[in-house]
A and B are shown apart, each in its own frame.
Chain A
């Protein structure tokens, strides 16, 4: 059936590829047949319900929907017959009868009006039915079902593409209606506001609220569009900014390799932070005589209490002077720099180069330390590379998908859609998470294990696979080392023994182990639930062992995929924004590499690895580090035991902060440099799939805010470096000179292709999506299997602190909330801090849902409201770390994993008590 099908289309001989529909062939031939319910985009199934695309097929009694119909050999198809044209026009006229008139339409430029105009329809001859009321309950999206044509595209968008399963078509016949959940207002439904329905709607019945006036009438189209990227998570969705009068109007998903047109609530609706009145638009210098205090807070709306405005000249001079002074006096090791995983590759490269060549040490790090440092440690040790072995879209080729310690429906929503698609296509989905989550309902096996017992669960799986002879012996012999030690190491991890530790019964552990091992193709996804533990590296080692002993690496549908957090955490690490590596993970301790960089950069380099994020904070307290340059990071919110961090920042002799808002970190700065937000800059960004993608500038920075690369360069020049970069392209070219991984990726190529996967050897080759099919970039060329022991969480609950606190993100808020809490829609959806507990747990504590409570750990206390959430197990509290008014990192345990130096964010002991009346009334 791979032969093309010859048939006649409007009197011409044409060929259809197998599976190709008449509509698709016609389009290829240059005829776009009218269509409404058919969306010509990836992931959308043709449904054939609107009947706007009917064509005539010789010998058939009735017309056929061209969007659905595949031609048969010698079929004679006419798109232009009178019968077909009339039927299509009648369909449009019927629908037009019930539409709001075009002058008052929600979307006068919609697909519907396009085709109505094309058919030459002025007005409908039919009477209109009563129009349903508008639903404006959602802050981001307006629902006007008077324009609904029941094409079901939103249902397919919600249920088949994004698999969020909120929209349904209820009722029957003329009473059919689009509903959310049980016919609820959209704003009170389970809608996660991905906006896929808005993007799919062909009539304007579902629209971004931002483009309508109060009466629901369209306020006018964008005047220009810029193709760029989403600034939020590591998925790396490609987007198009729609801009009107110099402001972002809407965001649309583009067909990028990681998102196929899909977006989540943050990417689609979380962009107006760039216009927030808190934006820094002038350089600021700390007022003389304003003391620094770790408990001090500054009002970002009015920094004048602590800062005065300055010219760029003065601010840059002061920033550089302080850094140079400390360097001259105490040496380069008394300085440190944090770059940002939200910045571009070029910016990250410049920051690490500034620290290494300008400060003179390797004390440079960024928030990767807080997310996947342990995963990277284990991966580097095990397979010689810290990146994913396959893109998350490889899940579509997998038979078994194992997700552990990751909640992609919240944190990587678009990646999650592909996992759900894969499950719907028949893959087996295994989810392991102490909390139930968005994937649970779809999972074949939901392992709600006890927090902090990952090694017990995974070890029992490894034990089972070895004991039952389910290993891939050939693969082990060919590509790994250390199997015997591994076998012995896990000899004691019987599922029967581990069941008591992890809370999952032995039979289930065995079943899941067999399911994974016996699959033809299995892939593992993990996130912070694995990495953010004192035993995070051990957790990741277990996952690597699982994949290696079963041979589930290096083939389509297999692999190890740590879902990376920030939009450029992969790239920032790749270009050396970490204390132990130069770009491409070349150790700073390796003399040959160092010599290369000394030659390239024209200066001597420090052979000692630098300090990591948490270590730098400790070094400040010890008086070893006295000056810092922090670009786009917010350790005063993101680090564990954050009061300790804030005290450290306040203790610094000189702190330069470069950011777009006055962050909690900037409260303690000496100089604050106003930088550019994502839509205001051009640069490359590397997502979790190792796809290097181009972000393009859509707006100018506000006021006197400047490009980050320019600011870094100005500091560099003032501390004695003779940098003369003309822009990001220039920096990228320098990176390519030493980075083998992106050898085949040129700036021109990115401008042309938008996205290229690395490693990529030459300009005419696509990058390699799936790596390590034939060994690993380790010294021996083999994957290393590591036996490990059972390390319990550092701070188990006790009588005084009886509950386990876990922290993380929520769908709407990014990281420390600096930008998302300043995005109107996102803030409206999740406006205040909440502690989620199981309703039974709340009952046992005598606390109601919505009550104000005090959550206390050994390090601090915060007050916030409770949320009754059945997904959270009893004995646990979950608090997101995005809320500065109840910063949960005041409570967290700074205890580090010994290898990855990552703190144990996912486990510390707390108690929850009713807030006293006084503080409740505040």
Chain B
């Protein structure tokens, strides 16, 4: 059909003579357009589904050629740039230009998260690179949320735990590239256990909305995505907001060292779904969007099945459920970036105000809750806020690093790092002496072992320049180099900064330069940190200097 434009010539040093025989710019290729039309079928060409459609192309062809990208743009009546910028923002899309070679069919992602670095990912990466044959490529990936099984390599969409080069090869040889569905509590089991009764009692009016809110308030349930904001207060922001209102459930867990939401979803997904529906009822929303990180492919499969069952059984009442798939971008765990991503755009955090409760998803008042936050709702509503208080406001801690038994641990909110190591994780790993810990993933700073008796609760670490965030505790030992850990964390922030605001985009990069120096310029680091904290749009840039500052404060010998 139409001849398409000649391949890109890279960057041109002098004016190029555009071809006279075609209109301006890359033309739509007829064959690619037919492929895209088949792929999309009769589905609505809605702008907010752009990322879903990019996934379809990536899944079907293993990459996204610019010919198909251009065809998708034409089919969705979008500009090429609008599609291209979204596709290149997310790391799980491989946009391939005419003069580039498509990637091999299988990708092995080796996690370079902080825990995996402790567990030796560089060696694993070295073992795998260039040894897996032409049909496989090996790439580094940010924390995939399986820190209890580090080091981690993801083969296609499958994660063999505690990866070795042999295990990866075995998985490839066996063709095991799709994730096994975990053994979770299914709908029957969940309802047998009284599941959805609480929701039904709200839907049917037996339980008043005000009582639900009161219970959550009495429980002092906090947002467990990391901010720790009182859930009942967040709900209250929606009171009086115009309808329709929406709920977005943040399942884009990505803070290095964190894997508790994964645990909730892969063991007891209906508790999460019922919680989401309770939250929707509490704020009188009529749609729920669950935004799930793409790394959790197995959870996506199970949620697709279980959400369909919930709808088939009519448990959702008048509330519509949507499942949206992330595409490899930590920043989309930031709530407003997540909204942008659900709308099919690049995941750029929004300036606030306006807050999501006023103008959120699609401009509607929106409640955003984390997976684990809603996970607790059923119990709190059923058993009362006082029960939750009496239990010590328990939540899940993701424990990883130099400990015997890493994993997700339910513990009360006053638990200390020392208790977690001793009482929950079986003590330090053999041959390791406890020296330091990350109380809250990559963002929460670093504390020395001498400060391991502080309660790991929201606000409790503020005076030390640290926070618990998503309660991801990474334990370090005498064998670990604080500077290497800090560099790992800063590289993560640099890779995952959305790039929107100067202090974060340029700041993370320049901070990386500064800490790469043999001697750290503490004064310039502090100046830069101040600007990043004061002037970045979102928490990523504001918190990115934390590990550097902790190192300067608590480990001056290591840092300078």
Q: List residues of A (483-528) whose CB comes within 8 Å of B's CBs.
A: none
Give every chain A residue within 8 A of B26 (Cβ-Cβ).
181-182, 184, 188-190
User: A170: which of B22, B88, B531, B537 is its contact (CB, 8 Å)?
Assistant: B88
Q: A188-B18, A191-B24, A849-B21 are in contact. Are A170 and B89 (CB under 8 A)?
A: yes
* A147-179 Cβ-contact flags toward B at 8 Å (1 or 0): 001100000000100000111111111111001
A132 to B494, CA, bound (A): 18
Q: Is the CB of A172 within 8 A of B89?
A: yes
> For B528, what are the chain A residues with a Cβ–Cβ distance below 8 Å?
90, 94
Which residues does chain A contribute within 8 Å of B3, judged by CB atoms? 849, 868
Q: Is B167 an interface residue (CB 8 A)?
A: no
Name which of A61-69, A313-321, A578-586 contacts chain B: A61-69
Given contacts A54-B535, A173-B499, A137 and B12 within 8 Å (CB-CB): yes
Question: Do residues B508 and A173 form an inter-chain contact, with CB atoms below 8 A?
Answer: yes
A852–chain B nearest beta-carbon distance, Å: 11
B61 in the interface, Cβ–Cβ < 8 Å?
no
Instruction: Please tell me which stretch of B74-82, B242-250, B255-263, B368-376 contacts chain A, meaning at least 4 of its Cβ atoms lie within 8 angstroms of it.
Output: B74-82
* B9 & A188 in contact (Cβ 8 Å cutoff): yes
Verify A185–B16 contact, CB threshold 8 A: yes
Q: Which residues of A contact B80 (CB under 8 A)?
A: 181-182, 190
B507 within 8 A of A: yes
Shortest Cβ gap from B93 to chain A (Å): 11
Which of B14, B20, B85, B510 makes the CB contact (< 8 A) with A865? B20
Residue of B nearest to A142 (CB): B15
B536 within 8 A of A: yes
Distance between Cα atoms of A62 and B529 in the complex (Å): 13
Question: What is the bound-complex CA distance between A208 and B510, given in angstroms?
Answer: 31
- Kindly state whether residue B174 has any CB partner on chain A within 8 Å: no
- Range class of the B interface residue count: 35 or more
Asked if B276 is an interface residue, CB under 8 A from chain A, the answer is no
Question: A422 to B79, alpha carbons, bound, how many Å?
Answer: 18
Contact A135 B11, beta carbon cutoff 8 Å: yes
Q: Which of A134, A136, A149 contacts B502 (CB 8 A)?
A: A149
Q: B38-88: which residues lie under 8 A (CB-CB) from chain A?
A: 66, 69-70, 77, 79-82, 84-85, 88
A91 in contact with B84 (CB, 8 Å): no
Is B351 a contact of A65 with CB atoms below 8 Å?
Answer: yes
Minimum distance in angstroms from A44 CB to a CB of chain B: 16
B366 contacts partner chain A, Cβ-Cβ < 8 Å: no
Contact with A along B1-28 (1 / 0, CB 8 A): 1110100111111111111111111111
Cβ-based interface call for A97 (8 A): yes
Q: Please tell me which one of the listed residues A65, A176, A829, A834 contacts residue B505 in the complex, with CB atoms under 8 A apart.
A: A176
Inter-subunit contact B16/A187 (CB<8 Å): yes
**Is B84 touching A183 in the complex (CB atoms < 8 A)?**
yes
- The answer to whether A185 and B8 touch (CB under 8 A), given A62-B534, A62-B542, A850-B20, is yes
- CA–CA, A871 to B1, complex, Å? 14
A175 to B70 alpha-carbon distance, docked (Å): 22
Contact of B9 among A125, A185, A442 (CB under 8 A): A185
- B535 is contacted by which of A91, A134, A179, A183 (Cβ under 8 Å)? A91
Flag A83-124 by CB within 8 Å of B: 1 or 0 each.
100111011001101100000000000000000000000000
Q: Which of B21, B30, B509, B535 contacts A866 (CB 8 A)?
A: B21
Q: For chain A, residues 39 to 55, give those with C-beta under 8 angstroms from any C-beta of chain B.
A: 48-52, 54
**Which of B10, B70, B81, B505 is the one whose CB lies under 8 Å from A173?**
B505
- B346 at the binding interface (Cβ < 8 Å): yes
A831 within 8 A of B: yes
CB proximity of A146 to chain B, nearest CB, Å: 12
If A83-B534, A173-B494, A184-B8 touch, whether A95 touches B506 (CB-CB below 8 Å) is: yes
Is the Cβ of A87 less than 8 Å from the Cβ of B531? yes
Asked if B70 contacts A182 (CB within 8 A), the reply is yes
What is the minimal beta-carbon distance from A157 to any residue of chain B, in angstroms?
A: 13
Is the Cβ of B499 less than 8 Å from the Cβ of A188?
Answer: no
Asked whether, in the complex, the Cβ of A188 is within 8 Å of the Cβ of B5, the reply is: yes
A69 to B89, CA, bound (A): 27
- 8 A Cβ contacts from A855-872 to B: 865-871
B contact residues around A95 at 8 Å (CB) = 502, 506
Evaluate contact between B535 and A51: CB separation under 8 angstroms: yes
Which residues in A have their C-beta under 8 angstroms from that of B22?
A: 849, 867-869
Give the distance in Å from the alpha carbon of A866 to the alpha carbon of B79 in the complex.
25
Smallest CB separation, B37 vs chain A (Å)? 15
* CB of B524 closer than 8 Å to a CB of A: yes
Listed residue (B80, B89, B527, B535) with the most chain A CB atoms within 10 angstroms of its CB: B535
Please name the residue on chain B nearest to A180 by beta carbon: B81
B501 within 8 A of A: yes
Q: Which residues of A contact B16 (CB under 8 A)?
A: 137, 185, 187-188
Complex contact B535–A181 (CB within 8 A): no
Find out whether the CB atom of B501 lies under 8 angstroms from the CB atom of A50: yes
User: Given the complex, which residues of B lie within 8 Å of A136, measured CB to CB?
Assistant: 12-15
Contact check, B25 vs A188: say whether CB atoms are below 8 A apart: yes
Shortest beta-carbon distance, A89 to chain B, in Å? 8
Q: Cβ of A125: which chain B residues have Cβ within 8 Å of it? A: 524
Q: Given the complex of chains A and B, what is the CA–CA distance between A185 and B498 in angstroms?
A: 24
Cα–Cα, bound, A98→B501 (Å):
15
The residue that A171 contacts in the complex, of B15, B82, B89, B533, with Cβ under 8 A, is B89
Q: Does B97 contact A (CB under 8 A)?
A: yes
Question: Contacts A49-B500, A50-B502, A139-B15: A867 and B21 contacting too (C-beta < 8 A)?
Answer: yes
For chain B, residues 490 to 545, give those with C-beta under 8 angstroms from any C-beta of chain A: 494-503, 505-510, 513-514, 524, 527-528, 530-531, 533-537, 542
- A68–B97 CA distance with the chains assembled, in angstroms: 37
Given contacts A184-B26, A441-B77, A867-B20, contact A175 B8 (CB under 8 A): no
B224: interface (CB < 8 Å): no
Shortest Cβ distance from residue A464 to the other chain B in the assembled complex, whole angstroms: 26
CA distance A95 to B22 in the complex (A): 40
Assembly CA distance A150 to B509 (angstroms):
14
Instruction: Known A126-B510, A171-B499; judge A190-B24 contact (CB<8 A).
Output: yes
Whether the Cβ atoms of B81 and A181 lie closer than 8 Å is: yes
CA distance in complex: A871, B510 (Å) = 48
State whether the Cβ of A223 lies closer than 8 Å to any Cβ in chain B.
no
Within the complex, what minimum Cβ distance (angstroms) separates A156 from chain B? 13
Asked if B307 is at the interface (CB within 8 A of a chain A CB), the reply is no
CA distance A259 to B346 in the complex (A): 31
A870 touches B28 (CB 8 A): yes
Chain A residues with Cβ below 8 Å from B537 are 48-49, 51
Q: Is the CB of B503 within 8 A of A174?
A: no
| B503 pairs with A133, CB closer than 8 A | no
Tell whether B136 is near chain A: CB-to-CB under 8 Å.
no
Chain A residue nearest in CB terms to B10: A185
Q: A90-B530, A171-B88, A191-B24 are in contact. Are A868 and B2 (CB under 8 A)?
A: yes
A850 to B91, CA, bound (A): 39
Please report the C-alpha to C-alpha distance between residue A135 and residue B24 in the assembled complex, in whole angstroms: 17
Partner of A867, one of B23, B500, B533: B23
Determine if B82 and A165 form an interchain contact, defined as CB atoms under 8 angstroms apart: yes
Q: Is A68's CB under 8 angstroms from B351's CB?
A: yes
In the assembled complex, how far is the CB of residue B525 from the closest CB belonging to chain A, in whole angstroms?
11
In the complex, are the beta carbons of B503 and A179 less than 8 A apart? no
Q: A835-852 toward B: CB 8 Å interface, digit per residue (1/0)? A: 010011001000011100
Q: Are the C-beta atoms of B8 and A174 separated by less than 8 Å?
A: no
> Which of A133, A170, A172, A831 touches B84 (beta carbons < 8 Å)?
A170
Task: For the complex formed, measure the closest distance between the CB of B355 and the CB atoms of chain A, giving whole angstroms.
Answer: 13
Query: B265 at interface (Cβ–Cβ under 8 A)?
Result: no
* 30 pairs, CB–CB < 8 Å, chain A vs chain B: A49-B501, A62-B536, A86-B527, A90-B535, A91-B531, A98-B506, A136-B12, A137-B11, A150-B499, A165-B82, A166-B79, A168-B82, A171-B89, A173-B508, A174-B505, A174-B509, A176-B499, A180-B81, A181-B81, A183-B88, A188-B18, A828-B15, A829-B18, A831-B17, A839-B30, A850-B21, A866-B21, A867-B22, A868-B22, A871-B23
What 5 A-B pairs are tightest by C-beta distance, nearest first? A190-B25, A850-B21, A168-B81, A165-B79, A137-B12
Identify 9 new A-B residue pairs, CB closer than 8 A, beyond the known A87-B531, A182-B95.
A86-B527, A150-B505, A168-B79, A174-B494, A184-B25, A184-B26, A185-B8, A441-B79, A867-B22
